[in-house]
Chains A and B, each alone.
Chain A
Amino acid sequence: MAEWIISFFNITDPKLVKDISEQIPYLLNNLVFAAWETVYSTVLATLFACLIGLPLGVILIVGEKGGIRPLPSPLMKALNVVINLLRSVPFLILMVVVIPLSRTIVGTSIGTVASIVPLTIAAAPFVARLMEGSLREMDRGTIEAAQAMGCTPFQIIWKVLLPECLPALLTSLTTAFITILGYGAMSGAIGGGGLGNMALNRGYTRNMRIVLYVAVVALVILVQIFQSVGTHLATRMDKRLTGSKARKASAGDRGRQARKDRRMGPPGAM
């Protein structure tokens, strides 16, 4: 592979030749695994962060004054303070601080699995705020209608609030996922695995330029993929945008594209 690239591009610069012949084999051996590590640690951390953050977000909305099931205000204040506190600690510092905790929970403080612990702890309050924001979009009138129908607070949360906000929640989830992906890259600094580790500890520290660029590009591609999938699912799911309208809009786009193609003529034609 490395030789093929050198000969195909007819590369003569000896430094570049050295880089390519050393780094391409490294990438071939490690890139896929690093990407996989990034994806699974991000997915797991997002999952755990949501398991903590979503209920917290619900409590923030439901328990506030004038909410569906107001909770004692000292409790709400304490919750808000804790969330703000956790959110204000820089991630790099949080990672170092929770090393002992990682050791108790997963048995080690180094590696991809261990990095899931600080990722989760850092992301949970962020996710709580994101979910709070999404749930706040809920129309008060609809909640009132449910109350008037004799829904219990639990039924309102479960059958009205969450289902009605699902598209917004999914959009938040996507944001959370991508932020955690970014945090995860940072965890490479303290021994977490994945693309971040590859970019930092190989690409940057050992001055492996090609590895650095490829790892960064791979991260960019992952972000694009997950963002597109998230946005697509959220729009598809949202019944407020009526299906026919959305379809018409995209058909229009296709029509415009086709007309443009005709104007341009077949590729290669003068």
Chain B
Amino acid sequence: MIELKNVSKTFPTAEGELHALTDVSLTIGDGDVYGIVGMSGAGKSTLVRCVNLLERPTAGQVVIDGADLCAMGQKELIAQRRSISMIFQQFNLLMQRTCLKNICFPMEIAKVKKADAEKRAHELLDIVGLPDKADAYPAQLSGGQKQRVAIARALASDPKILLCDEATSALDPKTTRDILRLIKDINRRLGITVVVITHEMAVVEEICSHVAILDHGRVMETGTVEEVFSNPRTEAGRRLVYPDGVRISELPAANVVRIAFNGGSSYEPLIASLAIDCGVKVNILGADTRNVNGQAFGTMLLGLPEDPAEAAKAVAYIKNQPNVTMEEVRDYHG
């Protein structure tokens, strides 16, 4: 279990102190796939770097399985880090080593026998689906392949925790999906706790069980993905959970509702039955729904009719649907 307790991090800069993290408390359970989302500059990278103390918090504690990392000496910390692996947006492979040697690296520094390390490295290459790339150099691989090698390297030390800092942000959508599947698969098969840092909600929807929303260095919301996505309670949460391409400022001032699908029915039948059962025509202002683990999931903004009676009818109808939550959006203005 990873517990961040009142973690703060300030950077001294030319313009004074920069509060990258303020009083962040999070608990990440064993075997979770925990997403940390936020806009650029929210402090996500800083937060994840605090988990293995690449960044030392200015205040607070980082407790992993009951042990406070901040209180550890250099030796203990180094030992602890070997059970926390990390993958990066830029892969950060050793460019002068073959893939096999890259994967051997964590074992090499842990003084595992060379033959054993190479045997394990070959197994890991199999796991990540690159059995024929053992002798290739990273420069000869595509981005997705590089990230696979990085994942294999991350698994080489038999970690309890895998930290992913924007691990798919340099990859195209298809490769992103493949890599996310791989990470999910690893989480399921090996029971490794995964922390996923991303600014893409789609990534969270794809693999995370829990999510924390970070904004300006503060945790705004935490919960299961379903809870937070179906009903974001804070402004920062709504901004992220909102369907892409919808600009809050361009919405009509009134009669806008946001519907979140929390599994179950997809949105087309809902709109259709609204028209058929209530005779109310609604306007889809924006939608971003997708299948997550076989359930319809996502958000949609609907413009309701001007007529208050019709609007009320629609609202009542939607509220009665299973697996759908709704809230009015008119407060967003002003």
B309 at the interface (CB under 8 A from A): no
Given contacts A159-B105, A240-B139, A242-B139, contact A147 B95 (CB under 8 A): no
B78 at the interface (CB under 8 A from A): yes
CA distance A152 to B138 in the complex (A): 24
CA distance A106 to B212 in the complex (A): 69
B109 touches A159 (CB 8 A): yes
Complex partner residue of A163 from B52, B93, B96, CB under 8 angstroms: B96
Q: Which residue of B lies closest to A149 (CB)?
A: B106
SS class, residues of chain A in contact with chain B: helix
Chain B, 63-109, CB within 8 A of any chain A CB? 78-82, 84-86, 88, 90, 92-97, 105-106, 108-109
A220 at the interface (CB under 8 A from B): no
Residue numbers in B under 8 Å from A159 (CB-CB): 105, 108-109
CA distance A244 to B84 in the complex (A): 36
A163 touches B97 (CB 8 A): yes
Complex partner residue of B81 from A149, A240, A241, CB under 8 angstroms: A149
Residue numbers in B under 8 Å from A141 (CB-CB): 88, 90, 92
B95 touches A240 (CB 8 A): yes
Interface centre among A147, A152, A164 (most CB of B within 10 A): A147
CA distance A141 to B91 in the complex (A): 8
Complex partner residue of B109 from A139, A151, A167, A239, CB under 8 angstroms: A151
Q: What 0/1 readout, one digit per residue, does chain A (113-156) give for beta carbons within 8 Å of chain B?
A: 00000000000000000000000000101101101111110010
B82 touches A242 (CB 8 A): no
How many residues of chain B get a CB closer than 8 Å to chain A's CBs?
A: 29
B224 at the interface (CB under 8 A from A): no
B105 touches A164 (CB 8 A): no
CA distance A195 to B160 in the complex (A): 64
Q: Which residue of B lies closest to A167 (CB)?
A: B96
CA distance A150 to B80 in the complex (A): 8
B230 at the interface (CB under 8 A from A): no
Given contacts A139-B92, A149-B109, A160-B94, contact A241 B82 (CB under 8 A): no
Chain B residues engaging chain A, CB cutoff 8 angstroms: 52, 54, 78-82, 84-86, 88, 90, 92-97, 105-106, 108-110, 137-140, 157, 163
15 more CB-based (< 8 A) A-B contacts, given A148-B81, A149-B106, A151-B109: A139-B92, A141-B90, A142-B92, A145-B88, A145-B92, A149-B85, A149-B109, A150-B80, A150-B106, A151-B78, A152-B78, A163-B96, A240-B95, A242-B137, A242-B139
Chain A residues engaging chain B, CB cutoff 8 angstroms: 139, 141-142, 144-145, 147-152, 155, 159-160, 163-164, 166-167, 238-242, 244
